[in-house]
Amino acid sequence: MKRLLLTIKLLSIVILFSNVTLNAESTVSNEATYDKVYRSDRVGDSYHFFLLTQNGTFYHLFTNKTDKLSVEELKSPKLLSILKQKQSWGKAFPKKGKYTINNGKLYTKLLWNRIKILSTTKIKYLNKTLYLK
């Protein structure tokens, strides 16, 4: 009788552990795509643009003046003039800063905002998902 109970207990333990699925993290590459413009979907009537460079600089723009920007336009010191030529009315909030890598994760240096790499074509910054366009 004891042998039967021991066998049942061992069998139940084996069944219990065989039904457990192992959770593995997805194998998405954490490599950012540098010197390419990421753009958000439309937020109200505006868009967020984001660009990372390999030398540790990021460019972020929130505007309703355009839905397309090139790398050169976003990096340009005359960005507001370029946007004014595209559309005379509207708003534009450009930001340029440095980012750092800490434990394999990207953060802005000034406010330590996370730049989350979701895939090589998708990142998340300030709770906005941006796509490589």
CATH number at residue 95: 2.40.128
Quote the CA–CA distance of 49 and 84 in Å, as a whole number.
16
Question: Does 20 reside within a domain?
Answer: no
pTM as predicted: 0.76
Does residue 18 fall inside a structural domain? Answer: no
Q: Residue 72 domain-assigned?
A: yes
> By C-alpha distance, which of 37, 97, 40, 96 is closest to 64?
40
Domain range holding 89?
Answer: 26-132
On whether residue 6 sits in a domain, the answer given is: no
DSSP one-letter code for 52? E
Which of 17-26, 73-82, 118-127 bottoms out in mean pLDDT, i.e. has the lowest? 17-26
Binned at pLDDT 50, 70 and 90, residue 25 comes out as very low
Task: Specify if 92 maps to a domain.
Answer: yes
For residue 51, being part of any structural domain is answered with yes
Number of domains the chain contains: 1
For residue 81, being part of any structural domain is answered with yes
Confidence of residue 5 (pLDDT cuts 50, 70, 90): low
